[in-house]
Amino acid sequence: MKVICVGRNYADHATELKNEIPTEPVLFMKPKNAVLVPEKPFYYPEFTDDLHYECEVVVKINKNGKFIGERHALKYFTEISLGIDFTARDLQREQQRKGLPWEIAKAFDDSAAIGYFNPLPADWDINNLSFELRKNGEMVQEGNTKDMIFKISKIISYASKFFTLNIGDLVFTGTPAGVGQVNVHDVLEGFLMGEKVLEVNVM
Protein backbone atom coordinates (compact mmCIF):
# COMPACT_ATOMS: atom_id res chain seq x y z
CA MET A 1 0.00 0.00 0.00
CA LYS A 2 0.96 3.61 -0.34
CA VAL A 3 -0.06 6.93 1.15
CA ILE A 4 -0.94 9.71 -1.25
CA CYS A 5 -0.89 13.18 0.29
CA VAL A 6 -1.99 16.58 -0.89
CA GLY A 7 -0.08 19.69 0.07
CA ARG A 8 -1.46 23.24 0.30
CA ASN A 9 -5.10 22.24 -0.05
CA TYR A 10 -6.54 24.90 2.25
CA ALA A 11 -5.91 28.53 1.33
CA ASP A 12 -5.43 29.63 4.96
CA HIS A 13 -2.67 27.03 5.47
CA ALA A 14 -0.93 27.83 2.16
CA THR A 15 -0.87 31.45 3.29
CA GLU A 16 0.49 30.69 6.77
CA LEU A 17 3.48 28.92 5.17
CA LYS A 18 3.79 31.72 2.58
CA ASN A 19 3.08 29.35 -0.32
CA GLU A 20 1.16 30.25 -3.47
CA ILE A 21 -2.33 28.88 -3.98
CA PRO A 22 -1.83 25.93 -6.38
CA THR A 23 -3.73 25.52 -9.66
CA GLU A 24 -3.53 21.70 -9.59
CA PRO A 25 -3.31 19.44 -6.51
CA VAL A 26 0.22 19.26 -5.05
CA LEU A 27 0.81 15.54 -4.52
CA PHE A 28 3.48 13.67 -2.63
CA MET A 29 3.70 10.16 -1.26
CA LYS A 30 4.69 8.33 1.86
CA PRO A 31 5.68 4.66 1.89
CA LYS A 32 4.06 1.85 3.87
CA ASN A 33 6.59 2.23 6.70
CA ALA A 34 5.31 5.75 7.30
CA VAL A 35 1.96 4.50 8.55
CA LEU A 36 1.54 4.65 12.33
CA VAL A 37 -1.53 2.70 13.37
CA PRO A 38 -3.74 3.62 16.36
CA GLU A 39 -2.40 2.91 19.86
CA LYS A 40 1.24 2.82 18.77
CA PRO A 41 3.32 5.60 20.31
CA PHE A 42 5.09 8.12 18.13
CA TYR A 43 8.79 8.54 18.94
CA TYR A 44 10.14 12.03 18.32
CA PRO A 45 12.72 11.59 15.52
CA GLU A 46 16.31 12.52 16.28
CA PHE A 47 16.89 14.27 12.94
CA THR A 48 14.62 17.26 13.53
CA ASP A 49 14.24 20.09 16.02
CA ASP A 50 11.05 21.42 14.48
CA LEU A 51 8.53 18.63 14.12
CA HIS A 52 5.04 19.84 13.12
CA TYR A 53 1.61 18.23 13.26
CA GLU A 54 -0.75 18.60 10.28
CA CYS A 55 -4.19 17.16 10.97
CA GLU A 56 -5.96 15.93 7.82
CA VAL A 57 -9.05 14.06 6.71
CA VAL A 58 -7.98 10.64 5.40
CA VAL A 59 -9.90 8.25 3.17
CA LYS A 60 -9.10 4.58 2.59
CA ILE A 61 -9.29 3.37 -1.02
CA ASN A 62 -11.41 0.22 -1.36
CA LYS A 63 -11.28 -0.41 -5.11
CA ASN A 64 -8.43 -0.56 -7.59
CA GLY A 65 -8.53 2.13 -10.24
CA LYS A 66 -6.71 4.24 -12.78
CA PHE A 67 -7.94 7.27 -14.77
CA ILE A 68 -10.88 7.60 -12.41
CA GLY A 69 -13.33 10.27 -13.50
CA GLU A 70 -14.24 12.91 -10.94
CA ARG A 71 -17.89 11.85 -11.17
CA HIS A 72 -17.01 8.33 -10.02
CA ALA A 73 -14.23 9.15 -7.58
CA LEU A 74 -16.37 9.04 -4.44
CA LYS A 75 -17.16 5.37 -5.16
CA TYR A 76 -13.52 4.48 -4.50
CA PHE A 77 -13.71 4.70 -0.73
CA THR A 78 -16.24 4.01 1.98
CA GLU A 79 -14.23 4.63 5.14
CA ILE A 80 -12.91 7.86 6.58
CA SER A 81 -10.77 8.99 9.49
CA LEU A 82 -8.24 11.63 10.46
CA GLY A 83 -4.49 11.45 10.31
CA ILE A 84 -1.42 13.45 11.20
CA ASP A 85 0.97 14.29 8.39
CA PHE A 86 4.04 14.67 10.61
CA THR A 87 6.51 17.06 9.02
CA ALA A 88 10.10 17.90 9.93
CA ARG A 89 9.61 21.56 9.06
CA ASP A 90 13.31 22.44 9.42
CA LEU A 91 14.31 19.72 6.94
CA GLN A 92 11.44 20.62 4.62
CA ARG A 93 12.52 24.29 4.50
CA GLU A 94 16.09 23.27 3.84
CA GLN A 95 15.09 20.88 1.04
CA GLN A 96 12.78 23.48 -0.50
CA ARG A 97 15.48 26.12 -0.35
CA LYS A 98 17.83 23.82 -2.26
CA GLY A 99 15.08 22.72 -4.68
CA LEU A 100 15.41 19.12 -3.48
CA PRO A 101 12.73 16.46 -2.85
CA TRP A 102 10.81 16.40 0.45
CA GLU A 103 10.88 12.74 1.45
CA ILE A 104 13.26 13.04 4.39
CA ALA A 105 11.01 15.74 5.86
CA LYS A 106 7.64 14.12 5.20
CA ALA A 107 7.91 10.41 4.39
CA PHE A 108 9.98 9.08 7.28
CA ASP A 109 8.92 6.11 9.44
CA ASP A 110 5.68 6.74 11.37
CA SER A 111 5.12 10.13 9.69
CA ALA A 112 1.58 9.18 8.64
CA ALA A 113 -0.32 8.60 11.87
CA ILE A 114 -3.86 7.42 11.32
CA GLY A 115 -6.93 7.15 13.49
CA TYR A 116 -9.72 4.60 13.49
CA PHE A 117 -11.57 4.31 10.20
CA ASN A 118 -15.34 4.33 10.20
CA PRO A 119 -17.79 3.93 7.33
CA LEU A 120 -18.84 7.32 6.00
CA PRO A 121 -22.45 7.74 7.24
CA ALA A 122 -24.97 8.17 4.42
CA ASP A 123 -26.15 11.50 5.84
CA TRP A 124 -22.68 13.09 5.92
CA ASP A 125 -21.69 15.35 3.05
CA ILE A 126 -18.08 14.59 2.17
CA ASN A 127 -17.66 18.23 1.17
CA ASN A 128 -18.90 19.57 4.49
CA LEU A 129 -17.15 17.67 7.26
CA SER A 130 -15.82 19.51 10.27
CA PHE A 131 -12.75 18.34 12.12
CA GLU A 132 -10.39 19.59 14.76
CA LEU A 133 -7.11 18.75 16.43
CA ARG A 134 -6.45 19.22 20.12
CA LYS A 135 -2.96 19.30 21.54
CA ASN A 136 -2.83 18.53 25.25
CA GLY A 137 -6.55 19.27 25.43
CA GLU A 138 -6.38 22.62 23.67
CA MET A 139 -7.83 23.12 20.19
CA VAL A 140 -5.03 23.99 17.74
CA GLN A 141 -6.56 23.26 14.34
CA GLU A 142 -10.11 23.54 13.12
CA GLY A 143 -11.11 22.74 9.57
CA ASN A 144 -13.95 21.84 7.26
CA THR A 145 -13.67 19.94 3.99
CA LYS A 146 -15.81 22.63 2.33
CA ASP A 147 -12.74 24.89 2.47
CA MET A 148 -10.57 22.53 0.42
CA ILE A 149 -9.10 24.08 -2.71
CA PHE A 150 -9.38 20.67 -4.43
CA LYS A 151 -12.25 18.47 -3.27
CA ILE A 152 -11.70 14.80 -2.48
CA SER A 153 -13.25 13.73 -5.82
CA LYS A 154 -10.75 15.91 -7.70
CA ILE A 155 -7.82 14.61 -5.64
CA ILE A 156 -8.70 10.97 -6.32
CA SER A 157 -9.28 11.60 -10.00
CA TYR A 158 -6.10 13.63 -10.43
CA ALA A 159 -3.90 11.21 -8.44
CA SER A 160 -5.21 8.23 -10.41
CA LYS A 161 -3.89 9.74 -13.66
CA PHE A 162 -0.37 9.17 -12.38
CA PHE A 163 -0.66 6.36 -9.85
CA THR A 164 -2.92 3.33 -9.95
CA LEU A 165 -4.96 3.40 -6.77
CA ASN A 166 -5.06 0.11 -4.94
CA ILE A 167 -7.26 -1.29 -2.21
CA GLY A 168 -5.88 -0.15 1.14
CA ASP A 169 -4.14 2.97 -0.12
CA LEU A 170 -4.65 6.03 2.06
CA VAL A 171 -5.27 9.54 0.83
CA PHE A 172 -4.32 12.43 3.13
CA THR A 173 -6.30 15.39 1.89
CA GLY A 174 -4.42 18.40 3.24
CA THR A 175 -4.35 20.43 6.41
CA PRO A 176 -6.04 23.68 7.41
CA ALA A 177 -4.26 26.55 9.16
CA GLY A 178 -2.89 26.20 12.67
CA VAL A 179 -0.02 23.80 12.10
CA GLY A 180 2.58 23.95 14.83
CA GLN A 181 5.28 22.27 16.82
CA VAL A 182 5.05 18.93 18.52
CA ASN A 183 7.11 18.07 21.58
CA VAL A 184 7.83 14.97 23.61
CA HIS A 185 4.92 14.14 25.97
CA ASP A 186 2.37 15.92 23.77
CA VAL A 187 -0.96 14.21 23.26
CA LEU A 188 -2.69 14.88 19.93
CA GLU A 189 -6.38 14.11 19.58
CA GLY A 190 -8.40 14.38 16.39
CA PHE A 191 -12.16 14.83 16.22
CA LEU A 192 -14.20 14.26 13.06
CA MET A 193 -17.73 15.68 13.19
CA GLY A 194 -17.34 15.94 16.94
CA GLU A 195 -16.27 12.34 17.45
CA LYS A 196 -12.81 11.37 18.59
CA VAL A 197 -11.17 9.11 16.00
CA LEU A 198 -7.45 9.75 16.53
CA GLU A 199 -4.99 9.91 19.40
CA VAL A 200 -1.22 10.09 19.15
CA ASN A 201 1.09 10.12 22.15
CA VAL A 202 4.49 11.62 21.45
CA MET A 203 7.36 9.89 23.29
Interatomic CA distance for residues 111 and 34, integer angstroms = 5
Closer to Mg ion by Cβ: residue 157 or 175: 175
Which of 174, 177, 182, 162 shows the shortest CA–CA distance to 59?
174
173 binds Mg ion (CB under 5 A): no
With contacts defined by CB under 5 A, name the span among 70-78, 107-115, 169-177, 190-198 that binds Mg ion.
169-177
With contacts defined by CB under 5 A, name the span among 21-29, 54-62, 108-116, 117-125 that binds Mg ion.
54-62
189 binds Mg ion (CB under 5 A): no
Closer to Mg ion by Cβ: residue 69 or 101: 101
With contacts defined by CB under 5 A, name the span among 25-33, 79-87, 137-145, 149-157 that binds Mg ion.
79-87
With contacts defined by CB under 5 A, name the span among 31-39, 83-91, 112-120, 159-167 that binds Mg ion.
83-91
Which of 89, 87, 18 shows the shortest CA–CA distance to 56?
87
Q: Which of 10, 48, 54, 114 binds Mg ion (CB under 5 A)?
A: 54
Residue 7 CB, shortest distance to Mg ion, in Å, is 6
Residue 123 CB, shortest distance to Mg ion, in Å, is 28
Interatomic CA distance for residues 24 and 20, integer angstroms = 12
Q: Which of 165, 175, 188, 198 binds Mg ion (CB under 5 A)?
A: 175
105 binds Mg ion (CB under 5 A): no
Interatomic CA distance for residues 27 and 102, integer angstroms = 11
Q: Render the burial of 38-61: b for 16+ CB within 10 Å, e for the rest.
A: eeeebeeeeebeebbbbbbbbbbb
Note the residues at the interface with Mg ion (CB under 5 A): 54, 85, 175
